């Protein structure tokens, strides 16, 4: 095993420079990375701690027509944030089930997305809310819709040396209804066997994010009107491909998707009505 | 002023240390000059070890030496509580996922772990036996090395290590109105004590000193003495209070390895298992129980015909005892005229199973209680009534010729039903279930203690029970306090050091209140006799003229406190009153189990659930456990143990199962994917009731307790789920997925039958 | 120097400085280098909470934190709760019968103390959520909840 070196850069350029090396990994909350190191799934020579990089924001702010969640923001901040709870309750609910209080005090939203687990709890809500990421690399940057970010289990479009500096979600004018649902093996802290989020707008547009039922978190879109029959829901769910693993069987996952997608749509529609 | 006497909830001895972090668990104890051990094991179940290259490991900074099987005596020494089958370390073959092939010793944990990663093992996976079916298959590879199986063993060519046949009456000629038959599976689960096992050894004074999180220090002491060729007197076991044991820390595991390494290196050596390694080291014996039962139309249980297969693992450990003892009581607490139980203990290339709270009784209860519920449903009889109809009453035999029922078991059932609200209207989507469990306590064994009244009247009690959370320190202190009349603050309990503390057989089988408790009472009595006799002597009177009441001695018209009389007795030359307390259960060599049980631990669980039919998810609305304890020496301790057992029972009922792949590897190795109950998994309402009829053999009429709450959890919840859904489930755990699948199957069955009828 | 972290931090009110391999976790550092063995190791991956410490005011799993990450931080371990005596919360754990084997208890007490800082008057649901990252195999959950509740209702200030 490689001797581990720990670096704590203060600037983004320094961090990205360090991360250009093959054997360097980014450390934010550490709740995924430390487990991976312990299991020898990764064997880095350098751990680059991003928590002191001032140019990565660590605040949650409303700017014009969007919510900006800084790259260093931890889950517990999301959970307790008024605007997030009010405008993005599905995201708040999702953040609230990531691990325990101890985990949420360290795990960052950006880190959860970069880890790219197909079951990442926050991804379905962010997908349904049309989130995008702001990335920095070298002396350039780009923005990427979250729906383009994931490539496969544990894989994203991030280039070597590229860092997520913020996650942004558009704030729609007018009311929106949303819902979040999750199937786990126990009521206590658990990874999701199936997770999904639903966002419904007054226009009737309905966006769904799905987790743990494909190689990446998935997005599907329809309208409330078009989701009436069983066939309609099957079409919506055709993007998913649940597998059997140590957590759940494929049959069960598929069945739970079908139960929960209907319940989530109903709940989102109800919430929209209540807010209109 | 808090109450401290017997029957109260006296404060926990050792509580302050535990809430402040001062309690020294085995891994907390500093050792000078300590070396650290990391184990090397393969990513495979059964494998042939071809070669082990330790050269890269030995180059790692900090690594002192790497031990493999080749560094140990040939033939490899073996140990085990029933069969001497377990090698100190693997030599030519790994027999289970996690079977260590090398031990890396280094100056730090980090370098030991690094070194372990650098050991290269060349191995070839071998076909392995990983399930009951595979163990029974005629051509399956044999788990047990031929050279350690007795030559006259008719089962040598099989993976059946032992067969037991229990029973009475004539099953085949017993006519029944209703005959039911089904097969029940009880999963592989692991203890998951929050403290992983710790093993420390150091050479000492011509022998060896060991620190271990062990529950039974004296069994360990004897095992090491035998293995190392040392007199018992030269083997010293330090046994700090374990951080949970539940049976998984009962019998030696890696102490022999660590001791031999320490003696070879001449330095203290410590191995702390990772949580994953504890899953690989210990588990409950899983089982497939095939029960065929016959009932009369009125619901009387007429016969039981059982074929039970238990998968013991790669080494027998204490599993043969788990199996024989539990299946001996295949009829549970019921009066049954004819019983036939054929039981097989099977070997497999899996973690050796060992004792685990309940000791086979939960597995039996899962089967027999499920059958009773099936009969109740088929006959249209209430589940409470059918049990009351069949339970043995106090004094009635359950196994002919053996110890009869020693409690009012029906009373516990009635209380459980009442507390659950059994006859209340059932809300839609809800279901209720009730079940009972029986566990026989220790059949033989001995406990010794030494009680010392010190020159100032304070007391040291030296007793070898292990306090792993059940509160032994507290109740033994209470017994001294109550019997001698010495305040609890003036009593010190010395435990956990075989050099100082006399023999105690074990802390298991819920035996300690009865056995060690009785020894302590015996010591108190002897100490009082000695005190009285010396007080008489000091006053020149006959002993009959001395009156002792707790805390006070009256002689020759004067009354003395204990400190005063001790000072008076010894005068200028200090002394102590020293008494040895003994409690021996000699057992009965002619008895199939070595003797009748000292008492039976009987428990009733009643459960109400609310099921989401679409998803199989269910909520535990209400959970009641009733424990027949005789007398609670410490009320709060007994209640917390009973509640704790209930929560542990929820584990194997709702969510716990070790999953193996086709290579015999544990797939859900670790806390991430092996889920145990958390705060959010406890029932909405949980009640524990203690029944105290003073009908036990221990002090104050106490029995033992602490296992009851998990004996009947599964059948009670399963029956509740069945009532709510119509689906019968015979496998555990009752995960939402399994419940959902059962609902689909029963829906499908109903639909088919509807369409057939239509 | 690569591979080594010099960590200066405040632990239970005392400034400490220690040089450790960079791969050493906060948990291991506190236990083996700072002599504070109250915090426990069980799962080593943030699932059991036995290693819970308060870092810069927040309860966290110390097994998931590298020593270098807490350079400059303020840490409270179980030894720092009660500072030799017992807080009202710790007393409540004892009187409520919440302590069995005790191995999970340091993490529980630290997590519960942090919870009460955040929510001074928690409901059962708040407690279950706040302590959901702490496992107790002895099954003491209901009594631990009762202990937290009673520590609040027994009085206002903790002196």
Q: How many CA atoms lie within 13 Å of B25's alpha carbon, on the beta-carbon side? A: 32
DSSP string, B9-33: -PPPTTHHHHHHT----GGGS--TT
Nearest CB to A189; choose among C44, C63, C133: C133
Nearest CB to C86; choose among B20, B468, B648: B20
List residues of A whose CB lies inside 8 A of any C CB.
Answer: 3-6, 8, 27, 29-31, 34-35, 37-38, 47, 49, 51, 76, 99-103, 105-106, 188-189
Query: Tokens 């549970």, residue?
Result: B332
DSSP, res B5: S
A3 → chain C, closest CA residue: C3
Nearest CB to A187; choose among B659, B680, B741: B680
For chain A, what percent of residues have pLDDT higher than 90?
Answer: 95
- The reply to whether residue B195 touches residue C132, judged by beta carbons under 8 angstroms, is no
Name chain A contacts of C46, Cβ cutoff 8 Å. 31, 34-35, 99, 102-103
Q: Is A109 helix (H, G, I), strand (E, B) or coil?
A: helix
pLDDT for the residue numbered B1: 31
End-to-end CA distance of chain C: 45
Helix/strand/coil percentages in chain B, nearest 5: 30, 25, 40
Residuewise pLDDT in 10s, chain C (159 residues): 679 999 999 999 999 999 999 999 999 999 999 999 999 999 999 999 999 999 999 999 999 999 999 999 999 999 999 988 999 999 999 999 999 999 999 999 999 999 999 999 999 999 999 999 999 999 999 999 999 999 997 654 444
H helix intervals, B28-168: 55-59, 109-118, 132-136
H helix intervals, B213-343: 217-228, 255-265, 275-281, 319-328
Q: CA dihedral defined by B661, B665, B668, B671, rounded to 10 degrees? A: 180
Q: Is B402 helix (H, G, I), strand (E, B) or coil?
A: coil
Reduce the secondary structure of B358-398 to three states and give it as a string.
CCCHHHHHHHHHHHHHHHHHHHCCCHHHHHHHHECCCCCCC
Nearest CB to C59; choose among A37, A49, A105: A105
Instruction: Give the neighbours of chain B: at least 3 Cβ pairs within 8 Å.
Output: A, C
A2 → chain C, closest CA residue: C3
Q: Is the ipTM of this complex over 0.90?
A: yes
Q: Is B724 helix (H, G, I), strand (E, B) or coil?
A: helix
Q: How many CA atoms lie within 13 Å of A68's alpha carbon, on the beta-carbon side? A: 15
In Å, how far is A42's CA from the nearest CA of chain C?
A: 13
Report the alpha-carbon distance of residue B757 to residue B750 in Å, rounded: 10
pLDDT for the residue numbered C154: 62
Nearest CB to C130; choose among A34, A51, A101: A101
Instruction: Give the neighbours of chain C: at least 3 Cβ pairs within 8 Å.
Output: A, B
pLDDT for the residue numbered B711: 98
Q: Is A38 on the interface with B (CB under 8 A)?
A: no
Name chain A contacts of B680, Cβ cutoff 8 Å. 186-189
Report the alpha-carbon distance of residue B610 to residue B428 in Å, rounded: 8
CB B477 within 8 A of CB B451: no
In Å, how far is C46's CA from the nearest CA of chain B?
A: 9
In Å, how far is A100's CA from the nearest CA of chain C?
A: 5
The two structure tokens encoding residue B128: 């392995």
In Å, how far is C69's CA from the nearest CA of chain A?
A: 8
Contacts of B86 by beta carbon, 8 Å cutoff, 6+ apart = B78, B79, B80, B315, B317, B352
- The reply to whether residue A186 touches residue B675, judged by beta carbons under 8 angstroms, is yes
List phi, psi (to 5°) of A73.
Answer: -75, 130
Contacts of C142 by beta carbon, 8 Å cutoff, 6+ apart = B643, B682, B686
Q: Which residue in B1, B10, B17, B21 has the most chain C C-beta atoms within 10 A of its own C-beta, making it the best mutation to test that interface?
A: B21
Nearest CB to B675; choose among A190, A256, A259: A190
Name chain B contacts of C78, Cβ cutoff 8 Å. 20-21
Tell me the residues of chain C between 30 and 69 that have a Cβ less than 8 Å away from chain B: 31-32, 36-45, 47-48, 50
Helix/strand/coil percentages in chain A, nearest 5: 35, 25, 40
pLDDT for the residue numbered B757: 52
Report the alpha-carbon distance of residue B711 to residue B603 in Å, rounded: 7
Report the alpha-carbon distance of residue A168 to residue A60 in Å, rounded: 10
Mean pLDDT, rounded, for A56-74 = 96
CA A259 to chain centre: 22
Query: Tokens 């000699």, residue?
Result: B586
The two structure tokens encoding residue B701: 């009429």
Contacts of B257 by beta carbon, 8 Å cutoff, 6+ apart = B88, B89, B100, B103, B199, B271
Please name every residue paired with A210 in a beta bridge, in sequence order, or none if there are none: A196, A218
C100 → chain B, closest CA residue: B469
List, edge to edge, every strand of the sheet that includes B286-295: B160-168, B338-347, B301-313, B286-295, B178-186
- The reply to whether residue A3 touches residue C23, judged by beta carbons under 8 angstroms, is yes
Nearest CB to B671; choose among C48, C84, C140: C48
Calculate ∠ Cα B258-B264-B267, nearest 5°.
Answer: 75
The two structure tokens encoding residue B634: 């410490």
Query: Tokens 């070196």, residue?
Result: A5
pLDDT for the residue numbered B297: 97
Q: Which residue in C3, C4, C23, C73 has the most chain A C-beta atoms within 10 A of its own C-beta, making it the best mutation to test that interface?
A: C23
The two structure tokens encoding residue A259: 């139960």
* Range from A87-91, A107-111, B219-223, C76-80 carrying the lowest mean pLDDT: A87-91
Report the alpha-carbon distance of residue B258 to residue C108 in Å, rounded: 32
pLDDT for the residue numbered B3: 57
Name chain A contacts of C23, Cβ cutoff 8 Å. 3-4, 37
CB C67 within 8 A of CB C24: yes
Name chain B contacts of C150, Cβ cutoff 8 Å. none
Tell me the residues of chain C between 130 and 159 that have a Cβ less than 8 Å away from chain B: 131-132, 134-145
Q: Is A182 on the interface with B (CB under 8 A)?
A: no
Mean pLDDT, rounded, for A156-170 = 96
In Å, how far is C1's CA from the nearest CA of chain B?
A: 17
Q: Which residue in C31, C99, C139, C150 has the most chain B C-beta atoms within 10 A of its own C-beta, making it the best mutation to test that interface?
A: C139
For chain A, what percent of residues have pLDDT higher than 70?
Answer: 99
Low-confidence spans in chain B with pLDDT less than 70: 1-4, 755-758
Calculate ∠ Cα B63-B65-B66, nearest 5°.
Answer: 105
Q: Residue B744 is inside which H or E element, if any?
A: helix B736-757
pLDDT for the residue numbered B755: 63
Q: Residue B183 is inside which H or E element, if any?
A: strand B178-186
The two structure tokens encoding residue A218: 């998935």
CB A180 within 8 A of CB A271: no
Report the alpha-carbon distance of residue A80 to residue A93 in Å, rounded: 10
């Amino acid at each position: 095993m490689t001797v581990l070196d720990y670096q704590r850069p203060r600037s983004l350029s320094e961090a990205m420079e360090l991360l250009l090396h093959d054997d360097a990994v980014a450390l934010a909350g550490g709740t995924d990375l430390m487990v991976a190191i312990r299991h020898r799934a990764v064997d880095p020579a350098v751990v680059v701690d991003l928590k002191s990089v001032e140019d990565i924001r660590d605040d949650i702010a409303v700017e014009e027509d969007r919510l900006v969640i800084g790259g260093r923001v931890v889950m517990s901040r999301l959970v307790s944030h008024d605007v997030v709870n009010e405008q993005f309750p599905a995201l708040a609910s999702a953040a609230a089930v990531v691990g325990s209080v101890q985990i949420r005090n360290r795990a960052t939203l950006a880190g959860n997305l970069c880890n790219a687990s197909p079951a990442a709890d926050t991804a379905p809500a962010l997908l349904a809310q049309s989130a995008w990421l702001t990335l920095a690399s070298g002396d350039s940057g780009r923005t990427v819709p979250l729906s383009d970010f994931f490539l496969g289990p544990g894989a994203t479009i991030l280039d070597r040396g590229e860092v997520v500096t913020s996650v942004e979600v558009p704030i729609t004018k007018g009311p929106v209804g949303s819902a979040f649902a999750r199937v786990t093996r126990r009521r206590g802290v658990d990874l999701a066997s199936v997770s999904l989020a639903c966002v419904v707008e007054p226009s009737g547009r309905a966006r769904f994010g799905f987790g743990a039922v494909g190689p990446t978190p998935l997005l599907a879109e329809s309208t409330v009107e078009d989701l009436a029959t069983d066939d309609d829901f099957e079409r919506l769910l055709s993007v998913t491909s649940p597998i059997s693993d140590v957590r759940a069987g494929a049959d069960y996952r598929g069945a739970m998707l079908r139960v929960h997608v209907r319940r989530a749509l109903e709940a989102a529609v109800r919430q929209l009505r209540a807010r209109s | 002023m808090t109450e401290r006497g017997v029957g109260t909830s006296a404060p926990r001895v050792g509580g302050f240390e535990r809430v402040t972090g001062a309690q020294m668990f085995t891994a907390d104890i500093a050792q000078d000059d300590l070396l650290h051990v990391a184990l090397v094991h393969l990513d495979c179940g059964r494998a042939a070890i071809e070669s082990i290259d330790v050269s890269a490991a030995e180059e790692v900074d900090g690594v002192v030496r790497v031990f493999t099987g080749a560094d140990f005596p040939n033939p490899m020494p073996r140990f085990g509580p029933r069969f001497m089958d377990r090698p100190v370390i693997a030599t030519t073959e790994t027999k289970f996922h996690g079977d260590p092939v090398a031990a890396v010793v280094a100056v730090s944990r980090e370098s030991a772990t690094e070194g372990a990663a650098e050991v290269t093992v060349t191995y070839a996976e071998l076909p392995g036996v990983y399930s009951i079916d595979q163990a029974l298959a005629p051509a399956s590879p044999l788990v047990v090395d031929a050279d350690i199986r007795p030559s006259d063993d008719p089962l040598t060519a099989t993976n059946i290590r032992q067969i037991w046949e229990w029973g009475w009456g004539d099953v085949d000629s017993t006519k029944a109105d209703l005959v039911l038959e089904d097969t029940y599976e009880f999963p592989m689960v692991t203890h998951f004590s929050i403290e992983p096992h710790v093993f420390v050894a150091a050479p000492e004074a011509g022998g060896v000193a060991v620190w271990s999180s062990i529950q039974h220090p004296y069994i360990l002491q004897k095992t090491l003495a035998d293995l190392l060729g040392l007199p018992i007197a030269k083997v010293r076991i330090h046994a700090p209070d374990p951080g949970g044991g539940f049976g998984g820390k009962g019998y030696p595991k890696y102490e022999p390895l660590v001791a031999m390494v320490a003696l070879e290196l001449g330095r203290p050596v410590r191995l702390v298992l990772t949580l994953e390694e504890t899953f690989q080291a210990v588990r409950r014996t899983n089982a497939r129980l095939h029960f065929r039962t016959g009932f009369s139309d009125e619901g009387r249980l007429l016969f039981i015909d059982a074929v039970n297969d238990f998968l013991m693992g790669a080494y027998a450990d204490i599993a043969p005892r788990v199996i024989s003892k539990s299946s001996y009581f295949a009829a549970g607490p019921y009066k049954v005229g004819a019983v036939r139980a054929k039981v097989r203990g099977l070997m497999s290339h899996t973690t050796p199973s060992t004792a685990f709270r309940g000791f086979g009784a939960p597995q039996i209860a899962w089967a027999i209680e499920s059958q009773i519920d099936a009969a109740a449903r088929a006959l249209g009889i209430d589940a409470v009534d059918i049990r009351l109809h069949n339970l043995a009453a106090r004094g009635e035999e359950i196994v002919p010729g053996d110890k009869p029922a020693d409690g009012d078991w029906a009373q516990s059932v009635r209380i459980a039903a009442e507390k659950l609200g059994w006859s209340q209207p059932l809300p839609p989507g809800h279901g209720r279930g009730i079940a009972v469990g029986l566990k026989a306590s220790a059949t033989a064994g001995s406990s010794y203690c030494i009680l010392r009244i010190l020159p100032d009247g304070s007391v040291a009690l030296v007793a070898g029970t292990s306090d792993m959370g059940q509160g032994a320190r507290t109740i033994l202190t209470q017994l001294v306090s109550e019997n001698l009349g010495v305040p609890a603050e003036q009593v010190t309990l010395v435990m956990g050091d075989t050099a100082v503390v006399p023999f105690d057989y074990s802390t298991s089988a819920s035996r300690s209140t009865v056995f060690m408790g009785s020894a302590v009472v015996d010591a108190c009595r002897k100490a009082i006799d000695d005190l009285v006799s010396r007080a008489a002597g000091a006053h020149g009177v006959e002993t009959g003229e001395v009156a002792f009441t707790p805390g006070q001695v009256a002689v020759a018209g004067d009354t003395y406190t204990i400190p005063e009389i001790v000072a008076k007795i010894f005068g200028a030359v200090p002394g102590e009153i020293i008494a040895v307390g003994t409690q021996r259960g000699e057992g009965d060599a002619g008895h199939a189990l070595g003797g009748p049980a000292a008492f039976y631990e009987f428990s009733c669980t009643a459960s109400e659930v609310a099921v989401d039919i679409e998803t199989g998810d269910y909520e535990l609305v209400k959970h009641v456990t009733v424990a027949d304890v005789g007398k609670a020496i410490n009320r709060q301790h007994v209640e917390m143990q009973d509640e704790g057992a209930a929560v542990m029972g929820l584990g194997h009922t709702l969510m716990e199962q070790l999953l193996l792949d086709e290579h015999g590897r544990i797939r859900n190795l670790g806390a991430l994917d092996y889920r145990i109950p958390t705060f959010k998994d406890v029932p909405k309402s949980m009640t524990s009731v203690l029944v105290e009829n003073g009908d036990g053999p221990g002090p104050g009429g106490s029995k033992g307790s602490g296992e009851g709450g998990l004996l009947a959890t599964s059948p009670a919840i399963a029956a509740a789920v069945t009532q709510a859904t119509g689906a019968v489930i015979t496998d555990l755990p009752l995960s939402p997925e399994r419940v959902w699948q059962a609902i689909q199957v029963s829906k499908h069955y109903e639909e088919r039958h509807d369409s057939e009828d239509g | 120097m690569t591979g080594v972290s010099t960590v200066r931090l405040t632990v239970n009110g005392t400034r400490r400085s220690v040089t450790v391999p960079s791969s050493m976790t906060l948990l291991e550092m506190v236990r083996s280098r700072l002599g504070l063995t109250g915090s426990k190791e069980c799962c080593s991956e943030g699932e059991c909470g036995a290693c819970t410490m308060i870092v810069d005011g927040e309860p966290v799993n110390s097994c998931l934190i590298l020593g270098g990450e807490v350079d400059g931080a303020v840490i409270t371990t179980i030894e720092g709760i009660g500072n030799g005596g017992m807080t009202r919360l710790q007393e409540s754990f004892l009187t409520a019968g919440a302590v069995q084997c005790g191995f999970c208890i340091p993490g529980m007490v630290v997590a519960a103390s942090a919870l009460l800082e955040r929510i001074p008057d928690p409901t059962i649901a708040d407690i279950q959520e706040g302590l959901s990252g702490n496992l107790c195999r002895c099954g003491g959950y209901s009594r631990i909840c009762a202990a937290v509740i009673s520590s609040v209702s027994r009085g206002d200030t903790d002196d």
